[in-house]
Structure 1
Amino acid sequence: MRIEQYVQKGSFYKAVVEDGSDIIFVVDYNGKIHYHNASVLETLGYRAKSLIGKNFFDFVRPETVNDVTRQFKQSQKRAFTENVEFQFLCKDGDFRFLEFNAINLKHKEGLDGFILDCRDIMQRKENEAELVRLQKAKEQFLANMSHEIRTPINGIVGMANLLSQNPSPVERETYLSAIKHSAENLTVIINDILDLAAIESGKLKFEKIAFNLRDLLPSLISTFTYQAREKRIHVDYQIDDSLNKILLGDPVRLNQILINLVSNAVKFTHNGSIKIHCMAERETKGICWVKIEVEDTGVGIPQEKLNTIFESFSQADASVTRKYGGTGLGLTIVKQLVELQKGSITVRSKEHVGSTFSVRIPYAIGKADETSAPKNARAMKKAGAAKLFVLLVEDNDINRLYAKSVLKNWNCYTETAENGLVAIEKIKNQEYDVVLMDIQMPVMDGYETTRAIRMMETPARNVPIVALTANATKADVEKCIAAGMNDYLPKPFSPDDLYRKLFQDLRLTPKEKVKKAAGQNKLYNLDYLRSVSGNNEDFIREMVLTFTQTIPPVLDEMKVALDGKDWERLARMAHQIKPSFTLMGLNPLRSSILFIEENSKYSTKLDELPDVVSDFVRQCRVILPELAKEAVPA
């Protein structure tokens, strides 16, 4: 039987062969096509029977013909061959990826030929190529991150080492400036990654706040003045009169969008200018479509790269990262932020001429009385300079030193605890205005500690608690709030960030602890004396009288010892009066005595001792007259 007769006999099922989605070829060992089904039309574009008599290998991609021919010859030795990939020429001139399973007719019918069952694997190949591309992009991203993170860290470590070598005042200023610049670069990188994570998890929320672009844009542009002046490029902006109105939206996110676009323009422009033009494109039903264009005369973007610049971990070219730095996430974040606000972003660019990014975002139109001018930060600091009593719960020595130094500048008195367990003991014995709580700590973490505090008796349970956390995702913040914290501050934070959190967001003011003691919530508690004396009033009055008469001279001695920096004497005085404070139930002040005794004895925390001693003496002098009233017979 010849192959022609085999085909005419119809030995394979019509439902599978003629009407199936797979492409079926019957070819001889030399590649001559004796049959193909109708599926070649839909997949490859050829009409029915149009390929019969032609050679199969003439349609295989030329550079792979030898490999496919070799696999044909190997298949002649087997009854069945699986998963042979090849590319077949389509009617439109493109090659399409197919994969065949071959049934050797020699074994079944004694014929020198194959039935080739071919499947279209174009989508699979495209998916594989996309996975490879994404994997390479992520590998490139990780390489970039390694470089971008290590570079500022190296700068910080290097400059810190130089600072330890007794530099001149000018050198010291230069090193400190370099450390600050490196730290800021590191913060930008981390914020980019966190922002992208928040966006992709769908947990990014937008505010609806009244703002005016005429207030927002000038201060934003001013942040780039120094960089632009260094590169001798001109940065200018224009806000059309039609936009002199109150808009309702998220000015922080708009600021973030513009910072990314203007930052890129400054980075990639070496001469010429950068122009920012803001206009009201249209208004309808109380909605203003704001259009902002950022135009530069920079290096431009190749035409073939315009479609990829908004993808994650992508820049127009790998060499861009090496030359200019950056995460490759800036434009991805911009596009996501714009589209999440139901807006759009487009780009026009020409190599060596420049680029123009156009952002369109719809904002509701507000009223003039819905916005208020921001308070002057310096005025706020002056108004809030009164001392807060702060408990800083932090296990990291450097973070403790940084936060304490910042608080000290605002005349805050700060006690520290290296873990949650120590913090709880301190809170039992002292009333604080606020607790700054680290999250990840040994012994007892921030969540456990907060829950334990909220189960205490008042007033300790009501102390404001602010989480200091390097985990600043939405889920982490929600976990802090769920544990009972009032607010959070992501690390790294600047002094201004901490100030805004304490004095503006939480509006904290120091409690009048001593005055409270004289009133309804006394700092002293005579229950212990009543217990040991069987409520003997004469005994209690005698003990109180002795205490109020013997303590003032000791306080005077402590001041003398402090002024003379006689730490041994100061420790001895604190040790001497410590038991008496326990008898009188003066637990809040007892914690100060313990601090004074411990640190005077070992000459530690000497920079804090003057404040602690002065505060202790001041409170004692207010409490003693109140306590003396207990010694007067009723």
Structure 2
Amino acid sequence: MKLQAYVRKGSFYEAVVEDGSDIIFIVDFEGTIRYHNTAVFQTLGYRPKSLNGRNFFDYILPETVEELKRQFKKSQQRAYTQNIEFQFLCKDYSYRFLEFNAINLKHKEGLDGFILDCRDIAQRKENEAELVRLQKAKEQFLANISHEIRTPLNGIAGMAGLLSQSPSPEERETYLNAIKHSAENLKLIINDILDLAAIESGKLTFEKIAFNLKDFLPSLISTFMYQAREKKISLDYTIDENLNKILVGDPVRLNQILINLISNAVKFTHSGSIKVFCTAEREVKGICWVRIEVTDSGVGIPEDKLNTIFESFSQADASVTRKYGGSGLGLTIVKQLVELQKGRITVTSKVNEGSSFIVLVPYGVGKKGAMANTSPKNDQALKAVNASQLVVLLVEDNDINRLYAKSILKNWQCYTDTAENGLVAIEKIKNQAYDVVLMDIQMPVMDGYETTKAIRLMDAPMCDVPVIALTANATKADVEKCMAAGMNDYLPKPFTPDDLYRKLFIDQKISPKQKVKSKSPVVIPANQLYNLDYLRSVSGNNEEFIREMVMTFMQTIPPVLAEMKQALMDSDWPKLARQAHQIKPSFTLMGLTELRSSILFIEENSKASTKLDEIPEAVSNFIIQCEAVIPELSKEVMPGAA
């Protein structure tokens, strides 16, 4: 009853209308304000009753007044109007976005006026504007990035086509350099996208490695020298003697920061010079603050753009991307990498005078001798690890990736077997001892995770073979999944020969196992070599079918064995591989498991021109056992045969 009395008395009016958060105006059809509540003061800054008698339209953004008057006219024909947006002049002379719902008093009370229930939508409009800005930036980014990806892809495809037209040695060199340059550009763009994704997902990790700036800065600068000379600009650097010390941090990320800054400087400088200054800002309690300044005399950055150049998908101007290319992510990544290492980056610039980017990053100070030997690889280093005796199984389903990795290993004179999926890899590991397995992850039939798990369930010593993942997915979660599957380490794609060398011989210290000297082959009784259970199973124990299959085998194998002998005498390894491949399926049908392993070894190594010193003995033993098993098989189909 108390509540009902409260309603009858109208006391709720003060709580709902007068003290409510919504702004309430009562205006006549001409726009004269007859009433407004106290919420006007909190939102717009006007004291109570101070707007009474004023015209509502005098406070509307001038260029929108006529449109709002038209809305008023339409509202006079309706009992209720919703969601009309407008901008109202505040006491501080700024305009604020509001939205009203109008109740037409003519329909209820016969009065020429409206009750305007207004809400502050300034934050909503800001959010909408920001969403539009971001959407446009991302659309621009996608347009830029699709162009930037297509350009090197077109270059690679075009140059590859020209290479197939028998060019001269000079042209061939030009085309190959163009392909390499395009591939590097494509790699940089894709790395930018992947790095930004890793940073924004919080999955980027930093190493703590001992390094010295004097070891890698000269070679980094040299990579830009060709471009600088081509543009006739000077590129130089100085390293303060106080920085000739062992620093502890992530040199790869520092390298990435400098590549972005120096490449930008080269890109936007058309005359003059680029200088890189490295100094020790200060050293406190074992922490050295390294200051790196990259200064150029390039086109410069407009003052109003200095605050946006570090934003994702942003460059100083859309025309910059069209003229100079790039993903628009380089400086975003630089800023993130610097700040994630508890550093900071600043920029000063003047249009047509140049820019100066200053990076300040704290690094630990290490002791002398703390640095690992990461010197460039050479023939002596490869001989020291005995790489020519290394037996590697490369498990990779992509033809180009397989060719690339195999070519690197071939240059090191490693013995390399290949498998196009995990199932083939398992079969090979059962029949051959390997020093290391390089394992792709995404493969048909059996992927890298399942293959590694299966290897770890094998008998010793097969289960102990080191497995290194070759993966395009190198997030923290992917790495953890590799380790959980039983892999020893991982190498992210794309990788360089140096990356693979470091992973094999420095990180994992892979070396050839002590090989057991060849023994005389174990001769298995011919009647134990074959097993016709498979044929019986697939034929429903049809004796006629089994007899025909065995007779066909007995007729077709001897001529092929003769061809294999001839190919071996001629050292015609491709022909030997083809002959072995031709008869391989027949050995599965006959249950000739031991002989099938031999033919597999002959086929793979003849095809790859590996283990050529072992192939003659393998072929000889294979032919001897085949010639022994054929008479035994004849007894199966012709019991009276001698």
Q: TM-score, normalised by structure 2?
A: 0.83
Q: TM-score, normalised by structure 1?
A: 0.84
Check the 8 A contact 1:592/1:612 in 2, yes or no: no
- The 5-angstrom pairing of residues 73-222 of structure 1 reads 73-222=73-222
- The 5-angstrom pairing of residues 185-584 of structure 1 reads 185-372=185-372, 374-378=374-378, 379-384=380-385, 385-515=387-517, 561-563=569-571, 567=575
Task: Determine the C-alpha separation between the residues in 1 that align with 2:618 and 2:607.
Answer: 20
Q: Structure 1 pair 618/287, CA: closer, same or farther in 2 (3 Å)?
A: farther
Q: Structure 1 pair 463/558, CA: closer, same or farther in 2 (3 Å)?
A: farther
Task: Determine the C-alpha separation between the residues in 2 that align with 1:372 and 1:402.
Answer: 27
Task: Determine the C-alpha separation between the residues in 1 that align with 2:13 and 2:457.
Answer: 77
Q: In the alignment, residue 431 of structure 1 is paired with which amino acid?
A: A
Q: Structure 1 pair 455/80, CA: closer, same or farther in 2 (3 Å)?
A: same
- The 5-angstrom pairing of residues 604-615 of structure 1 reads 608-609=608-609, 611-615=610-614
Instruction: Give the secondary-structure state (helix, strand or coil) at the position aligned to 1:314.
Output: coil
Q: In the alignment, residue 428 of structure 1 is paired with which amino acid?
A: K
Instruction: Give the secondary-structure state (helix, strand or coil) at the position aligned to 2:290.
Output: strand
Instruction: Give the secondary-structure state (helix, strand or coil) at the position aligned to 1:26.
Output: strand
What's the % identity of the aligned pairs? 71
Task: Determine the C-alpha separation between the residues in 2 that align with 1:275 and 1:407.
Answer: 39
Task: Determine the C-alpha separation between the residues in 1 that align with 2:365 and 2:127.
Answer: 45
Task: Determine the C-alpha separation between the residues in 2 that align with 1:584 and 1:158.
Answer: 49
Q: In the alignment, residue 199 of structure 1 is paired with which amino acid?
A: I
Task: Determine the C-alpha separation between the residues in 1 that align with 2:300 and 2:157.
Answer: 36
Deviations 1:150-186 (A, max 9, x none): 1111111111111111111111111111111111111
Check the 8 A contact 2:606/2:612 in 1, yes or no: no
Check the 8 A contact 1:429/1:590 in 2, yes or no: no
Deviations 1:214-256 (A, max 9, x none): 2232222122111111111111222223323322211111111
Distance apart, 1:560 and its partner CA: 5.7
Check the 8 A contact 1:310/1:331 in 2, yes or no: yes
Instruction: Give the secondary-structure state (helix, strand or coil) at the position aligned to 1:271.
Output: coil
Deviations 1:74-95 (A, max 9, x none): 2122222211111111222221
Distance apart, 1:282 and its partner CA: 2.4
Task: Determine the C-alpha separation between the residues in 2 that align with 1:222 and 1:565.
Answer: 44
Deviations 1:248-303 (A, max 9, x none): 21111111111111111111111111111122222323222222111111111111
Task: Determine the C-alpha separation between the residues in 2 that align with 1:351 and 1:425.
Answer: 65
Task: Determine the C-alpha separation between the residues in 1 that align with 2:18 and 2:577.
Answer: 105
Task: Determine the C-alpha separation between the residues in 2 that align with 1:238 and 1:570.
Answer: 60
- Which segment drifts farther, 71-80 or 342-351? 71-80
Distance apart, 1:364 and its partner CA: 2.2
Distance apart, 1:621 and its partner CA: 11
The two structures, once aligned, show a CA RMSD in angstroms of 3.2
Distance apart, 1:617 and its partner CA: 4.3
- Which segment drifts farther, 560-569 or 223-232? 560-569
Task: Determine the C-alpha separation between the residues in 2 that align with 1:70 and 1:485.
Answer: 72
Distance apart, 1:568 and its partner CA: 6.5
Q: In the alignment, residue 113 of structure 1 is paired with which amino acid?
A: G
Check the 8 A contact 2:156/2:179 in 1, yes or no: yes
Instruction: Give the secondary-structure state (helix, strand or coil) at the position aligned to 1:377.
Output: coil
Task: Determine the C-alpha separation between the residues in 2 that align with 1:569 and 1:299.
Answer: 61
Distance apart, 1:16 and its partner CA: 2.0
Deviations 1:433-488 (A, max 9, x none): 22222222211111111111111111111111122222222222222222112222
The aligned residue for residue 28 of structure 1 is 28
Check the 8 A contact 1:387/1:410 in 2, yes or no: no
Q: Structure 1 pair 316/499, CA: closer, same or farther in 2 (3 Å)?
A: same
- Which segment drifts farther, 120-129 or 55-64? 55-64
Distance apart, 1:43 and its partner CA: 1.7
Instruction: Give the secondary-structure state (helix, strand or coil) at the position aligned to 1:512.
Output: coil
The aligned residue for residue 14 of structure 1 is 14
Check the 8 A contact 2:577/2:606 in 1, yes or no: no
Task: Determine the C-alpha separation between the residues in 1 that align with 2:86 and 2:577.
Answer: 92
Check the 8 A contact 1:529/1:584 in 2, yes or no: no
Distance apart, 1:42 and its partner CA: 2.5
Q: In the alignment, residue 39 of structure 1 is paired with which amino acid?
A: A
Q: Structure 1 pair 374/466, CA: closer, same or farther in 2 (3 Å)?
A: closer
Q: Structure 1 pair 414/569, CA: closer, same or farther in 2 (3 Å)?
A: closer
Task: Determine the C-alpha separation between the residues in 2 that align with 1:367 and 1:298.
Answer: 40
Deviations 1:103-155 (A, max 9, x none): 22222322111111111111111111111111111111111111111111111
The aligned residue for residue 554 of structure 2 is none
Check the 8 A contact 2:573/2:606 in 1, yes or no: no
Task: Determine the C-alpha separation between the residues in 1 that align with 2:576 and 2:284.
Answer: 78
Check the 8 A contact 1:34/1:52 in 2, yes or no: yes
Task: Determine the C-alpha separation between the residues in 1 that align with 2:472 and 2:396.
Answer: 12
Task: Determine the C-alpha separation between the residues in 2 that align with 1:570 and 1:422.
Answer: 18
Q: Structure 1 pair 524/504, CA: closer, same or farther in 2 (3 Å)?
A: farther
How many residues end up aligned between the 2 structures? 575
Check the 8 A contact 1:561/1:570 in 2, yes or no: no
5+ unaligned residues in a row in structure 2: which ranges?
A: 1-8, 530-561, 622-642
Q: Structure 1 pair 216/406, CA: closer, same or farther in 2 (3 Å)?
A: closer
Task: Determine the C-alpha separation between the residues in 1 that align with 2:342 and 2:365.
Answer: 16
Check the 8 A contact 2:90/2:96 in 1, yes or no: yes
Instruction: Give the secondary-structure state (helix, strand or coil) at the position aligned to 1:613.
Output: coil
Q: In the alignment, residue 129 of structure 1 is paired with which amino acid?
A: A
Instruction: Give the secondary-structure state (helix, strand or coil) at the position aligned to 2:187.
Output: helix
Q: Structure 1 pair 229/120, CA: closer, same or farther in 2 (3 Å)?
A: same
Task: Determine the C-alpha separation between the residues in 1 that align with 2:255 and 2:403.
Answer: 32
Check the 8 A contact 2:574/2:606 in 1, yes or no: no
Q: In the alignment, residue 45 of structure 2 is paired with which amino acid?
A: G
Q: Structure 1 pair 326/566, CA: closer, same or farther in 2 (3 Å)?
A: closer
Q: Structure 1 pair 106/172, CA: closer, same or farther in 2 (3 Å)?
A: same
Q: In the alignment, residue 503 of structure 2 is paired with which amino acid?
A: K
Task: Determine the C-alpha separation between the residues in 1 that align with 2:189 and 2:446.
Answer: 31
The aligned residue for residue 546 of structure 1 is none
- Which segment drifts farther, 247-256 or 24-33? 247-256
Distance apart, 1:558 and its partner CA: 7.5
Q: In the alignment, residue 365 of structure 2 is paired with which amino acid?
A: I
Q: Structure 1 pair 197/411, CA: closer, same or farther in 2 (3 Å)?
A: same
Q: In the alignment, residue 384 of structure 2 is paired with which amino acid?
A: A
Task: Determine the C-alpha separation between the residues in 1 that align with 2:177 and 2:451.
Answer: 38
5+ unaligned residues in a row in structure 1: which ranges?
A: 1-8, 534-553, 600-604, 623-634
Instruction: Give the secondary-structure state (helix, strand or coil) at the position aligned to 1:514.
Output: coil
Instruction: Give the secondary-structure state (helix, strand or coil) at the position aligned to 1:218.
Output: helix
Task: Determine the C-alpha separation between the residues in 2 that align with 1:54 and 1:220.
Answer: 70
